[in-house]
Amino acid sequence: MKMNNQQSQIPKRRLVAVCAIGLLLLAGGIFSAFAFEGLSLRAGSATTAPATNAAPGARTSLVTNAPVSYADLVSHTAPAVVTIYAERRVREPRQFPFFNNPFFGDPFFDEFFGKDGKRLTPREPDNSEAPRQMGLGSGVIVMADGYILTNHHVIDGADKIKVEFADKRSYEAKVVGSDPASDLAALKISARNLPTLPLGDSDKARVGDVVLAIGNPMGVGQTVTMGIISAKGRATGIGDGSFEDFIQTDAPINRGNSGGALIDTQGELIGINSQILSPSGGSIGIGFAIPSNMARNVMDQLIKSGKARRGMLGVIVQPLTSDLASTLGLADVRGALVSQVNAGGAAEKAGIRRGDVITAVNGAPVNNGNSLRNQIARMQPGSEVTLTITRDGREQQVKAALAELKADKGIGEEVGENEGKSKGKFGLSVEPLTPELADQLALKSDTRGLAVMGVDPLGPAADAGIQGGDVI
């Protein structure tokens, strides 16, 4: 019986102990909750301090310190972005009477009209009643007295240009200067005390930075989109292809955004929206903007003289592969490998040789041929530059006085890049193996053959495994 009584009493004691422990835990939980709430409030108050990269007046998140609204930033910058209407008359080409006549090609009629109609006098078309075509783009006011920066392709061939503000004010504009090579143009309207966007330093922009794109996509009216910088130093080859150093962004850009602003969270212009990559013609998150530092250089020249002048080094370079870098004794696969030196050019006068690898211009790194082309193009003719080169595995510096790149020069005649895209049936470019080139490729000086200077990645040679630097 006692045993039974003791057994009956044990659960009661345990119950009392459990209840006591539960009360203690509950009290501790309540105390902890208040304590943690206090810590949370203190942490929250600490994170409300403005971020260094947040726009003035922008509201910020208590958790990440990131802006949750860009309204103040947009209201400050958007008035400096305008819509551009470019009107052009669609002109008919010169025509030859009966050019498509089935009698052409007949020897009898060739006696009278010339072979394929070449003796016929062309008939000038009557364009007085030709239909007019309206182009749409955007622009950025960069000077308060009416200077506007936009894309060359927005106003190319236009007979009449109208600039419209977001408040529907409009002005007739004239072209101050246009540069197809960089796809930039400067316009002027008769107005003063206009809102402007300051040009930022695009070299300081980093991949991952938040950016806003402002323009008039598809003619719907001024629109603001947000994204980040996805990449820098892009070359698309979509346009003229001469000088490309694009900022890539996923901020939605559509037709009509061309010439508009890409701004950072400080409200500075870091790019002029120029191109999109899209199979459908609409934004898929791959847009490209001309960096502000390139735009500033070209804009200043257009406003001053109506055209852009560029330096010329006088070399043709080829892509540097890991195999070539290893063969040439380079630590990194970086630089521009000189495959041709133009006779009498600045590079030849400076002592640059075929096989040299240019790794820096005035101390600024050269990543590839496109990088070298853009760095040289930023400089004025006659400028003296210091080139860092690697020759025979040793680094040295040479000085060169740049010549002037003429407007009618092709890309291959300046600082171009030989991509090895030969039109031959094998898809490769070769050069005779000289003793100097053999030495560069670590071969015996008496080795004979053809050195592969470039390979078309889509050609038969590439399919067979041939690479740049191979010797046939």
Nearest to 134 by CA among 273, 255, 274: 255
Pairing of strands 160-164, 81-89: antiparallel
Residue 218 is which amino acid?
M
**Contact (Cβ atoms closer than 8 angstroms) between residue 404 and residue 311:** yes
Structure tokens at 59: 């509201």
Instruction: Check 152, 178, 183, 470 and give the catalytic one.
Output: 183
Is residue 153 part of the annotated active site? The answer reads yes
Is residue 258 part of the annotated active site? The answer reads yes
**Contact (Cβ atoms closer than 8 angstroms) between residue 203 and residue 189:** no
Instruction: Check 153, 245, 371, 470 and give the catalytic one.
Output: 153
Nearest to 362 by CA among 340, 350, 348, 379: 379
The values of phi and psi at residue 399, to 5°, are -110, 140
Burial class (CB in 10 A: 0-12, 13-18, 19+), 405: buried
Q: 232-269 as b/e, with b when 16 or more CB fall inside 10 Å?
A: eebbeeebeebbbbbbbbbbbbbbbbbbbbbbbbebbb
Structure tokens at 397: 């510096």
Whole-number Å distance between alpha carbons of 121 and 98: 11
Nearest to 261 by CA among 231, 223, 234, 232: 223
Residues labelled catalytic: 153, 183, 258
